[in-house]
Structure 1
Amino acid sequence: MTETLKFADLIRALGRGKNGSRSLTREEAQFAMQEIWHQRETQAQLGALLMLMRVKEETAEELAGMAQAVRNELADWAGRPMHIDWPAYAGKRRQPSWYVLAAKALSQNGYPVFMHGGGEHTAGRQYARQACEALGIAVATSWQNAAALSHNHSMVYCPLSSFAPTLSNIIDMKRELGLRSPVNTLVRNLNPTGARVTLQGMFHPSYKTLHHDTAGLLGDARNLVLKGDSGEFEVRPDSTTEVLVHSPHHPERVDIPKRLSQRAVRPNEPNLALLQATWAGESVPEYGVAAIHDTMALALMVADGVSLQEARNKAATLWQQRLITG
């Protein structure tokens, strides 16, 4: 079918008015992303497609088709097998990036992490790249460089611009268009290295089911989706967290009880120095350590196929071991 498709056909399907328009099929969406990836569409066509999808809101079938197209393009990963795919695109507004410490601790204890991010548009936010650079985590300059780094580093951060520049440019179009596009949603489901465990965090709860359903269509058998702090995959330990799960060993929904009895006071801005001090054991912030433990525990729960309590116990042990291994 894709041999006879034209990009204009997709725009027509999306934009034929209230009674005539429809969402794209998964195959059509995959074709659209193939064309976009290779820049075979015009800028007018690209803008039309993105905004029409944005107005009607993207579907899981559309996201799965687009994500599959990107995965096909990046199927040449030559790095070590990565255990966890960790998209980090939101940026932290007040709390430091505790999730980066969780990822680093997991990576140094047998769970290699590929973290990717981009769209660093909001002033005052702390993004994954800043935290990774401050913590000495390897930052890749290209897809090939990311693969090479992974053989000597258990955690690699790769900017979207370094492995999918076309998608990065589309995200940057927010400045011009004034709106997010479906690509902002798509990038959380990319899993470009084919990691065994996939994670998605977002700020708006309505997107949880969308990401969950997309992961199911893509066959991501160990997947976690939650409304995380500032939209990152990070548990807030001062409130109960509802998690949607794909796993051979767990129900489709798991609730993470809060660890802290009172709502934490939010700092005015995220503190990189506190993040570094916490990793070094020079500071033990109650909120931060609780967030780290439970974020690690969730990943361990689906990675190891164990109960939440078993995963929490293991997370606490691995967090302590970082002072030895890191």
Structure 2
Amino acid sequence: MIRDALIALVEERRDLTRQEAAEAMREMMRAGLENPTGEVATPAQFGAFMAALRLKGETVEEITGMAQAMREHALRLDVKVQPLLDTAGTGGSKKVFNASTAGAFVAAAAGAKVAKHGNRAMTSNSGAADFLEALGAQIALTPPQVAECIEKTGMGFMFAQTFHPAMKFAGPLRPQIGFRTVFNILGPLTNPAYAKCHVMGAATPELAERLAQVLANLDMRHAIVASGAGNVDDISVTGPTEIYEVRANGVTHRTITPADLGLQQYAPEEIVGGDAKENARIFREVLSGEGPLPIRDMI
């Protein structure tokens, strides 16, 4: 129960087990269902849980349990082509261009089958859904429609608000809280197509390492979690990037630089984007072989 989880976090001052974290998430998910069975979380419990977890710091086991519970309540996407790739950041780079979403187009053009999962902006200027909508995409598609997009074009977008209907309880509460919560971390981990390959960004190396361990727990085939210089939740062209790579035999770490990729290094202000409309305009220029060179290189 979420009440027991709150007691553990606040009074006992201990980490939750994977099962305890999963059950707390299930109660939050049930609160978004029309006819829930079992205990449901209240708005007060939701806010208290998010604050307590943020103050303590989320462990790998807690994040894993909550991700598994969120997956249970998501609409499933069955795609005939495999393996599937997702590209996502966890946020934190408020002014940086939407490189992970733009990069999904490049990956699809190169032959990858991209099952992109994302939402509107919560803590940044432009989320994946905002960016794609500004490009003219229809984002509120059904699971069969998204599967058809992936099978025919190599890329489809799963709008989190459509594919996680139980999240309608948490949706209005998150902006009211006013700080980043575990949901910023969970979004990229709860792909409804169960994509087995991920390229994920994290604002700090410490978070990147934790996410890599969570992805290993979720049985990823191959994943890369990157944390760029200056708290950029992408592979950066402004300095070194810490890479945590997940394969069947575990997690490995290395550091790469723009020079390692044959690129020059740029100043942080050179990869700044804008709102969704501005980022869409920049991306159209990039697709035309123009646009700012730093952003072209970052994509």
TM range (shorter): 0.7 to 0.9
Contact kept in structure 2, 1:86 and 1:198, CA below 8 Å = yes
Aligned-residue CA RMSD in angstroms? 3.0
After superposing the two structures, state which structure 1 stretch, 230-239 or 20-29, moved more. 230-239
Aligned to 2:297, which of 279, 290, 309? 290
| Residues 173-184 of structure 1 mapped to structure 2, 5 A cutoff | 173-184=173-184
- Report the TM-score when normalising by structure 2: 0.80
Aligned to 2:27, which of 13, 16, 35? 35
**Counterpart for residue 37 of structure 2:** none
| Residues 250-289 of structure 1 mapped to structure 2, 5 A cutoff | 252-258=252-258, 259-263=263-267, 265-266=269-270, 269-270=273-274, 271=278, 272-281=280-289, 283=290, 285-289=292-296
- Tell me by how many angstroms 1:251 deviates: 7.0
- Tell me by how many angstroms 1:194 deviates: 1.3
**Counterpart for residue 152 of structure 1:** 152
| Residues 53-68 of structure 1 mapped to structure 2, 5 A cutoff | 53-68=53-68
Partners of 2:249 and 2:5 lie apart in 1 by: 39
Alpha-carbon distance change, 287 to 266 in structure 1, aligned in 2, over 3 angstroms: closer
Query: Partner amino acid for 1:216?
Result: A
| Residues 1-326 of structure 1 mapped to structure 2, 5 A cutoff | 6-16=1-11, 20-39=12-31, 40-74=40-74, 76-80=76-80, 81=82, 83-88=84-89, 90=91, 93-121=94-122, 125-135=125-135, 137=137, 139-167=139-167, 170=170, 172-228=172-228, 234-248=234-248, 252-258=252-258, 259-263=263-267, 265-266=269-270, 269-270=273-274, 271=278, 272-281=280-289, 283=290, 285-292=292-299
Contact kept in structure 2, 1:33 and 1:66, CA below 8 Å = yes
Which digits, 9 at most, give the CA deviation of each residue in 1:213-234, with x for residues without a partner? 2112222231111124886753
Contact kept in structure 1, 2:227 and 2:241, CA below 8 Å = yes
Alpha-carbon distance change, 143 to 52 in structure 1, aligned in 2, over 3 angstroms: farther
Alpha-carbon distance change, 129 to 175 in structure 1, aligned in 2, over 3 angstroms: closer
Q: Which runs of 5+ in 1 are unaligned?
A: 1-5, 293-326
User: How high is the sequence identity, in percent, across the aligned residues?
Assistant: 23
Alpha-carbon distance change, 183 to 100 in structure 1, aligned in 2, over 3 angstroms: closer
After superposing the two structures, state which structure 1 stretch, 164-173 or 208-217, moved more. 164-173
- 2:186 partner SS: helix
Aligned residues: 282
- 2:24 partner SS: helix
- 1:278 partner SS: helix
Partners of 2:134 and 2:210 lie apart in 1 by: 33
- Report the TM-score when normalising by structure 1: 0.74
After superposing the two structures, state which structure 1 stretch, 200-209 or 64-73, moved more. 200-209
Alpha-carbon distance change, 135 to 228 in structure 1, aligned in 2, over 3 angstroms: farther
Larger radius of gyration: 1
- 1:253 partner SS: strand
